[in-house]
Every structure is written in C-alpha cells, then in structure tokens.
Amino acid sequence: MNEALVDLLMMAPGAPELPTLEDLLRRPEWHQQAACRGQGTRTFFSGAPDNLDRARAVCGRCPVRQDCYEYAMDDPDLEGVWAAFTAKERRGLRRTRVA
C-alpha cells in the first residue's frame, strides 16, 4: 500500500490510536534482570526439544521468573518459553486455574 495513503488513513477521524515507538520499546523493569536477556530468540521460540531444555535451564536460574510467569499468564497470545513453560503448557495451566 502506498505510504502516503497509509498516513492519510491513520489520520482519518475514528482511526485507531497507535502505540508510539516509545510505547513499543518500553519494557517492564524486570526484563533488565531476566536471565534470558541477550540469549537469542531461537532457544526460547524454536520448539526444538534441545532448545526447550536449554530454555528451561536458563529459566531455572532466573531471578525474575515469577514476574515472567505472571506476565506470560496474563497474555494468552504470547508464544515461546516464558518462566520455563511453553505456550501449550500455559494454556493448560490457565484452564486448571479457572476450573
């Protein structure tokens, strides 16, 4: 789509409010202490068994694992390993938490 057209549509009355770049870059304070910081995304998002084991090892020594768990449990659309749990495992935990 033409960039000028996109700009025009986003400025139209009733256009959705978009997050600013600052909003997108803002991370919770606890992200600064996360053991996974700088580890690379493949370990946490590939789904390969050896990467899952590595991700869980990193999560096991993480000082902010509880914060990470709460963050991941609050967002059902979040993929990957968070607080040593896969997205599928978190879905199951949410079901049991509600029941």
The string of pLDDT tens digits covering residues 40-91 is 888 999 888 899 999 999 999 999 999 999 999 999 999 999 999 999 999 9
Q: Which residue, 49, 45, 81, 41, is CA-closest to 62? A: 81
In a domain, 8, yes or no: no
According to the model, what pLDDT value does residue 20 have? 72
In a domain, 21, yes or no: no
Residue indicated by tokens 């549509």:
9
How many structural domains is the chain composed of?
A: 1
Range 20-39 average pLDDT = 84
Residue 23 has phi, psi (to 5 degrees) of -60, -45
According to the model, what pLDDT value does residue 65 have? 97
Q: Is the pLDDT of residue 19 over 90?
A: no
In a domain, 1, yes or no: no
Packing angle of the helix pair 65-74, 87-98 (nearest 10 deg)? 80
Structural domain containing residue 64 = 28-98
According to the model, what pLDDT value does residue 6 have? 55
Q: Which residue, 10, 57, 19, is CA-closest to 35? A: 57
Q: What is the enclosing helix (H) or strand (E) of 45?
A: helix 42-45
In a domain, 17, yes or no: no
In a domain, 61, yes or no: yes
In a domain, 54, yes or no: yes
In a domain, 60, yes or no: yes
Instruction: Tokens for 98, please give them.
Output: 């509600």
